[in-house]
A and B are shown apart, each in its own frame.
Chain A
């Protein structure tokens, strides 16, 4: 269902973009706030927590990193790991670190004596067939001729779990991200999903990335996506800070995710 919003924004965007121009605006200033980007993923060595500070809106967008923080990750069995600073605001776990699925992780960050905490559930991804289906399609509507790409999946997981889905071509993941709930898809049966608005050519390699997330993180990403939807003003949701799952006054998120990647070349 989230797809729908993005499409409507896209649809109307065209009506307004030609009437847009850059303007000078005087904005207020604010005291720096700690930013936490916590990413615990099941791909080896991919987990990190990045710490930085907010800055005034019209300052250069180069982040101001925090290199003197304390970062600790604890699973629901009480096992703790301290992440160490690895440069550019990133704190990483020990080499070879892989978190467990079906586990709740807790984050504790201390910056200048102030503590920030968060929790996130690491759910397993649904099963995705490793073999993709390609079918030649003639040009129609906006789409040029090419191949439709369909993956098949089976979701047997209980409860509501969200998926961040990205796809790309020839080693490059596209910016567009599709966020959907397990509630939107038929459960316990093998279902196809054709990639929307996409027609690669013969010889192209198609890659896909699936990441499971819990509901609070999904709410955060959805709000972030609405803020940065690219929709013109009348179609934007009222601006507001996304609902962080971090306590203590920081902004950002703490996300635990199971990652599945597949890829295949079109013959």
Chain B
């Protein structure tokens, strides 16, 4: 008797348990799913890791964020794609990787999903430039933007005021001001940029190059590294390093550059908007009260275009349909207005939505958001060409520009040499 009732009780309990489980599953459609993200170690990474439990609460899916430095991220994800090992479900994609992703079909083309869920995504609220540049290539949407950065100019109000110089609005003024503000005896320098061989110097020079009217590709999309405009801009870049930059700058990457500015050594610096919150943080910055953020100065007579960079979230194409949908749910959650606002309240410095940049609470915290908004409206995301050959081109430029900065290499000769090697890639 006792045995039977125990059995009956057991069966009932089991039925109940499974009923609860089903109810839970209806509530949390992605229960049991784990999504692994390969994330660049930018400001947003820690924030995403921090907010991910909210997504889990909502959908039941566990999110693991693997935070990697740029080099490791590139190597690990490429190996994952090439070997079809499905280690990562979601991948943060640098704007310049779009060409490579599109050509090789590494990630899911999101075009149809975006059409299907357009209302839910509130696409009108997202800056078209971020969607276009961060992930769109040859008619495919290989990633969805979640962290747009604008190139901005950071400056020191106190140093400019003391010297009686206006905030430069053109590239020409910028060069003049930088040289005038430099006084090595007081350890004050007018300018700082990345000089270190490799991606660091290449990316910074490309930024100044675009503002001075240069371009890596010609009108037909073929490499034109040694064009007259590029040679001229490289000469100016070298002049700035020789006359206005801290001596160590030829070996600076992003970290060294930002640090020299936060430590108060430098008057003018072009940078990504994502670093700007750091200048206002007394824990790491000595210039909290004297820093200003404005638009990057463009050469006289050139169209007003501002550099756009940033990261998109991509879905590994090797995943099955069900997992792809789960990953897409995560992207939709990540780019929703609420999560975007919360990310930025937590210091992610990553913007894609008009509503986020216009948010009063965020504007009170970060006074420079209107600069980003206007930059996004006139954005150029192609000054670093997003072609499959970009990594190699960047490396060639990284060596050539560095050679000009540190040595006596003639700018024309250095770019000629880089051009000869770049042509082999096409």
Q: Do A and B bind each other?
A: no
Q: Which residues does A use to contact B, with CB under 8 Å?
A: none
Q: Which residues does B use to contact A, with CB under 8 Å?
A: none
